[in-house]
Structure formats: C-alpha cells, structure tokens
Chains A and B, each alone.
Chain A
C-alpha cells in the first residue's frame, strides 16, 4: 500500500493495486475504483467551493457524503473535508514538492 502524503492526515488515500484505491477515514476504510475516485474528487471540489463551504459552516458544520457508488456514507466535519481535499490534490498532482 502506497501513501501519497508524508504528513499524518485525518483522512488518507492509498493506492492498493493498479486500479484500486483505499480511502482511510477515521472510522472506516473504503475501497474505490478509479471512476469512484474521480466521482469523489468531483464531489469534494464542489463542496469546498467558497460559497458551499460557507454554507456548510453556517449550517451543520459537517457533511454526510456517499462514496463508492453509495456503498459507504462518510461523516466529515469541515477540517476533515479540507484534509480530504488536500489529500486528493496531492494524489492528482504531478511529482514535485508542493507548498499547499
């Protein structure tokens, strides 16, 4: 299992095989295929748009997120949501030292 971030994060993404990935959340591990990973990226990008983020903070301060074709439900507070965004950015970035 390969880790893509050298800092301990509350949520991590790992590559397990050629086309399988593992999302390690505080309470569970979720297996993802590539389309599911792209779907997750899309959802996280939407949720972390400034307008949407502001709305989340003003309301419940957390999101419930279906992942892996609705097989799993994740509870993410705003910090975890932002951590996951960072993790996904790293995962999809090319190889270089990146200051985020």
Chain B
C-alpha cells in the first residue's frame, strides 16, 4: 500500500507526553540490549572453556566480563523504561562454545567488542539525527567504555605475542583476572 499520511497532531502533542526518547532510537536501544546480552552469554561460554582447562586467571576474567556486559545491558534496559519506552527482554541464541586455543578466545573477544562499539556508534548517530539529546548524552558513557574495552583486549593479545612459544599455563598466569 502506498499513500500520503498527514499527521493531524505532532509528536510533541501525542507520543512526546509519554516518552522522551525517539521511538526508532528505542528500537535500536532494544537491539543494543540484545547485543550486550549476547556478548554476556558469549563471555560465559569462554569462561567455561577456560574453567574446564584450569586457566584460572582467564576464567576469572571472562566470568567478570560476562557480568559487566550484563550490567551494560541492564543500564540500557532501565534507561529505556525510565524514559517512557518499552524495553524488551531479548532472546539469546547462537552462542559459540568451541574454541581452538586461548589466543583465539581473546581474539574473538576483541572482535565482539568491536561489533558492540560499532553498534553503539549506530545508535549514537541515530539519536543525533533525531535530536534525541537524552539518549545521546546517555550513550556518551558507553562510547568511552567501549574504547577502554577495546584497548584492554588489544593489550591482552599483545601479551600472547610477547610470550609466543611459552606454555599456556604460564601465559595464563601473566593475564589479569579482571
């Protein structure tokens, strides 16, 4: 169907009284919640892989990462509801539980963090385009946080380069727990 739609009343007089965030930005925030929860579940899978192999520092690190990602999701979840929107509890599926080695676990983590960063940028851009200043300011913390997260994983992968050829257990002992 194709037709013209002329609104009799503006968003300021209808939806705006109920919610301060833009509806399409809300949809992207809900997608972001799903992505953060997926990242959390993915880190849990990595923690389990490390735990089974007695890589104690790495397992502690990934359990902590799983918690952090869930906290990020919850932060967005509450933000959406607090500002009149409807946060949606996401389905989480397609979690990879198989890894080649410890280095690939960290490399996968970095890729995952980059995806999360790009997704945050996408929501940020949309908020800016729609003049949704509340969401834009809210997301500034996430932009900084993602830059720190990416830096953390790059530094950890550097340790693998520096300790190339060393026993896995010894590398794990040099890795931080959080």
Contact = CB atoms under 8 A, between A and B. Distances in A.
Interface of A: 2-7, 15, 18-19, 34-35, 38-39, 41-42, 45, 79, 82-83, 86, 89-100
Contacts of B23: 41, 92
What's the dominant secondary structure at chain B's contact region?
A: loop
B3 A38 contact: no
A95 B11 contact: yes
Contacts of B17: 18-19
Contacts of B11: 92-95
A94 B24 CA distance: 11
B9 A94 contact: no
13 contacts: A2-B8, A4-B8, A6-B8, A15-B14, A34-B84, A38-B85, A79-B1, A86-B1, A92-B11, A95-B7, A95-B12, A98-B4, A100-B1
Contacts of A92: 11, 15, 23
A68 to B, nearest CB: 14
Q: How large is the interface on B (under 10, 10 to 19, 20 to 34, 35 or more residues)?
A: 20 to 34
A90 B8 CA distance: 10
Given A41-B23, A92-B23, A82 B1 contact: yes
Contacts of A90: 5, 7
A6 B1 contact: no
B94 interface: no
A4 B85 contact: no
Interface of B: 1-12, 14-15, 17-19, 23, 27, 84-86, 88
B6 to A, nearest CB: 5
A19 B18 contact: yes
Nearest to B130: A94
B4 A39 contact: no
Given A18-B17, A38-B86, A42-B88, A93 B1 contact: no
Contact of A7 (B5, B18, B86, B88): B5
A95 to B, nearest CB: 4
A11 B6 CA distance: 16
A43 B141 CA distance: 31
Given A15-B14, A41-B23, A95 B9 contact: yes
